[in-house]
Structures are given as structure tokens and as C-alpha cells.
Amino acid sequence: MDTIQILASNGKREGMRVLAVKGPVTIHTIFDFQNVVRADSAPAMIFDFSAVPYVDSAGLGAMVGAVVTLQKANRKIAFSGMNEKVTALVQMSHLSQVIRNYPTVEEAETAVS
């Protein structure tokens, strides 16, 4: 069974939260992912995916859901550190305009500030 850990910390700028995701984002872990998105009220959120080995279609849907939820609330969101597998999935799904990925947390923070 897949497990996921999400560690929240404050970003470099006020109102920015960095969420370090560890483990796969799959049908088995999306509820934890979604709960964190709903529970956090920071104006800007960066999801650090550098410790995410893979994402399945349900996980991809949860990522899109997070983007839509935050954008509707006029909040900012970005992802960082996606590996080649996850990046390829996002690109093949034609979602790279929706799911913004940056090489590092620092670059993501700069992009959403």
C-alpha cells in the first residue's frame, strides 16, 4: 500500500507555504493530499515533489483539482522538483500550462510571488 507524507513549512516570503511531498501521489494517497490542500489557507502554496517517485491518473487529477481550487480562491500555486516520469505525465496530458513546475522550490517561490 502506498503511503504519503506531507511536511508543511513557511516559505521565504510571508504568506507562502512550502509543502514537501514524500511518496507517490496515487489513488491510495490523494485523500491525504487533498486534505492538506483544503486545510491550508496560505495565499501561496509550493508543492515540492522532489521526493515523489510517481503519480498515477488519480494523483494527476488531484494536482489539477488543487490548482483549480486555489485559483478560484485567488491564491497562487506552483510545483517544484518533479522527476522525469511525473513531468512526462503532465506533458503527455497537455497539462503543463495548468500544472506549473519549476526545478527548485526557490524558483517556484519567485514565480508565484
User: What are the structural domains, with CATH classification, of the chain?
Assistant: 5-112 (3.30.750.24)
Model's pTM, two decimal places?
0.94
Q: What does pLDDT average to over the chain?
A: 95
Max CA pair span of the chain: 37
Cell of 33: 493530499
The vertex-20 CA angle with 18 and 25, nearest 5°, equals 125
Instruction: Specify the pLDDT at position 2.
Output: 82
Helix, strand, or coil (residue 44): strand
Instruction: Specify the pLDDT at position 80.
Output: 98
Give the single-character DSSP code of 26: S
Other CB atoms closer than 10 Å to residue 96's CB: what's the count? 12
Q: What is the mean pLDDT of residues 54-80?
A: 96
The number of residues making up the chain comes to 113
| Banded model confidence at residue 41, pLDDT cuts 50, 70, 90 | very high
Buried b (16+ CB within 10 A) or exposed e, 57-74: ebbbebbeebbeebeeee
Q: Is the pLDDT of residue 113 over 90?
A: no
